Amino acid sequence: MVVVPRGAEMVSFTGTIQPRFSHDLGFRVLGRIVSRNVDVGQTVKAGQLLASLDPVVLTFAVQQLEAELAKAEAQLVFATATRDRKKALVAQKAASQADLDTAEESLAGANAAVIRARASLDKAKEQLSYARIVSETDGIVTATNAEVGQTVNAGDTVITVAQADIREAMVDVPDEMARSLKIGDPFKTSLQVEPSIQADGRVREIAPQADAATRTRRIRITLDTLPPTFRIGTTVIVSPQRMERTSIELPRSALLKADNRAFVWIVDEKAMTVSRRRVEVAGDGGETVQITSGIDVGTRVVTAGVHSLSEGQKIKIDPEMAP
């Protein structure tokens, strides 16, 4: 058969606008929630208080350690004064060196106690700060997983905040097409409800494996511009710009596979011989295959008996079967 163009192809898929980064926020200590200041869909600012736990127990711990620090500092003052007195008495030979050594040891112990008490107090204050959830970035609340009055464990996700300044189009495409895509391929994205609102983007991520049930792969497209109407969750139509071109489609029987590569037999109509040529296959449509490179439109290829031919073999074209 003679290779003919399949025709210009324009494909599109439905997807949604999703954040590139989402933050799952939770408390770092066990406790009972006493306030949750945001709901799903609400816009938040970096540093904004989102939720808090009952701080009573943690506050008591801080107060107790503040008292222990004050006691340790008082003991340090006493130990310092004792050491100074002993030092003066030794200079006057009214006390022994052993008394001074004991006073020095007591002073070192008192100093260490102050350092330990300060560290414990700092830790308790840090624990008290864990009773508050503060937004790490400007964004939008996309999920809340706990209510006021509920007791949560340390690390449980309570609120999810999507970073709204970096948004992407997320779409599932057939595995056949995904194999022909690469990172950086251009796409055009438009609102489903208002196709005139568009944005260009490029492929940032392609799922390495197809979904077992749908045989589709998820791709993420980073948008170059961000129209205000491209809100998180908005439905969009995405079209791969580089797919708007002609393609070559051959019967599966024309394809010869060897050494994990694909070939076709090209017919030299003057010499009436065949030669093997390597081709790149983009998609497998069942009974047909799509060729992306290796042969040109107008080339005559063999479509039957490809496994029985050899390089340079003489052939005869049946006028009734040739297209």
Q: What are the residues whose beta carbons fall under 8 Å from the beta carbon of 142, sequence distance 6 or more?
A: 19, 22, 40, 160, 161, 162, 232
Residue 310 tokens read as 């050899």
So what's the pLDDT on residue 47?
93
Q: What is the pLDDT of residue 8?
A: 47
**pLDDT for position 249:** 77
pLDDT recorded at residue 66 = 95
Distance CA 204, CA 208 (A): 13
User: Could you give the dihedral angle defined by the CA atoms of residues 227, 230, 232 and 236, in that order, rounded to the nearest 10 degrees?
Assistant: -150
Task: Return mean pLDDT, the chain.
Answer: 87
Please name the residue that has the structure tokens 């040109």: 296
What's the burial of 255, exposed, middle or buried (CB within 10 Å: 0-12/13-18/19+)? buried
- What letter would DSSP give residue 144? E
Q: What is the DSSP string of 165-218?
A: TSEEEEEEEEHHHHTT--TT-EEEEEESS-TT-EEEEEEEEE-SS--TTT-EEE
| Three-state DSSP class for residue 38 | coil
CA-CA-CA-CA torsion sign (290, 294, 299, 302) = negative
Higher pLDDT, 280 or 127: 127
Average of per-residue pLDDT across 64-89:
94
Confidence of residue 247 (pLDDT cuts 50, 70, 90): low
pLDDT digits (tens, 9 = 90+) for 256-273: 888 888 888 888 888 889
Q: Is the pLDDT of residue 106 over 90?
A: yes
Tell me the pLDDT tens digit for each residue of 144-195: 999 999 999 999 999 999 988 888 999 999 887 888 788 998 999 999 898 8
Domains of the chain, start order: 13-18+166-243 (2.40.30.170), 23-54+131-162 (2.40.50.100), 56-129 (1.10.287), 248-308 (2.40.420.20)
* Number of neighbours of residue 225 by Cβ within 10 angstroms: 10
CA pair distance 155, 27, nearest whole angstrom: 6
Token pair 């008591």 is found at 60
Euclidean distance between CA atoms 71 and 105, whole angstroms? 18
Question: Region 57-63: what's the mean pLDDT?
Answer: 94
Rounded to 5°, the CA angle 63-51-138 comes to: 120
% of the chain residues with pLDDT over 70: 92
> pLDDT band for position 16 (50/70/90)?
very high
Provide the pLDDT confidence category of residue 227 given band limits of 50, 70 and 90.
Answer: confident
Asked if the model's pLDDT at residue 210 lies above 50, the reply is yes
Interval 104-132 mean pLDDT: 94
Average pLDDT over residues 70-97: 91
Mean pLDDT of 119-130: 94
pLDDT at 319 over 80: no
Which residue, chain included where needed, has tokens 């019967």? 251
Of the candidates 201, 241, 191, 245, the residue with the CA atom closest to the CA atom of residue 224: 201
Confidence at 244, pLDDT banded by 50, 70, 90: very low
Would you state the torsion angle of the CA atoms of residues 228, 234, 235, 236, taken in this order, to the nearest 10 degrees? 30
